[in-house]
Amino acid sequence: MPKIGIIYNDIKPIACKTAHQIQDQLLSRGWQVFMATGSGGLLGHSKPSRPVCFTPIDQLVPPHFDQDLSFAIVLGGDGTVLSAARQLATLNLPLLTVNTGHMGFLTEIYLNQLEPALELVLEGNYTIENRSMITVRLFREDTLLWEALSLNEVVVHREPLTSMCHFEIQIGEHAPVDIAADGVILSTPTGSTAYALSAGGPVITPDVPVLQLAPICPHSLASRSLVFSDKETVNIFPATANRMVMVVDGNGGSYILPEDRINVQKSPYNVHFIRLQSTEFFRILREKLGWGLPHIAKPTSVELP
Q: Where do the CATH 3.40.50.10330 domains begin and end in the chain?
A: 1-129+268-287
Surface-to-core class of residue 284, CB atoms within 10 Å of its CB (0-12 exposed, 13-18 middle, 19+ buried): middle
CATH of range 132-267; options 3.60.40.10, 3.40.228.10, 2.60.200.30, 3.30.70.100 = 2.60.200.30
197 annotated to a ligand binding site: yes
280 annotated to a ligand binding site: no
The residues, ordered by sequence, that sit 6+ positions from 172 with a Cβ below 8 Å of its Cβ are 228, 231, 232, 233, 234
196 annotated to a ligand binding site: yes
Q: Is 78 annotated as catalytic?
A: yes
Q: Which of 58, 66, 78, 260 is catalytic?
A: 78
Spell out the per-residue pLDDT of the chain, length 305, in tens.
Answer: 899 999 999 999 999 999 999 999 999 999 999 999 998 888 776 666 665 556 788 889 999 999 999 999 999 999 999 999 999 999 999 999 999 977 789 999 999 999 999 999 999 999 999 999 999 999 988 888 888 999 999 999 998 878 889 999 999 999 999 999 999 999 999 999 999 999 999 999 999 999 999 999 999 888 899 999 999 999 999 998 888 999 999 988 888 999 999 999 999 999 999 999 877 788 888 888 888 777 665 556 555 55
Q: Spell out where the chain has E strands.
A: 3-8, 32-37, 72-76, 94-99, 109-110, 127-140, 143-150, 153-158, 165-171, 177-181, 183-187, 210-216, 226-229, 234-238, 244-248, 252-256, 260-275
Q: Is the CATH number of domain 1-129+268-287 3.90.1170.40?
A: no
Closest by CA to 32, choosing from 6, 7, 4, is 4
Q: Where do the CATH 2.60.200.30 domains begin and end in the chain?
A: 132-267
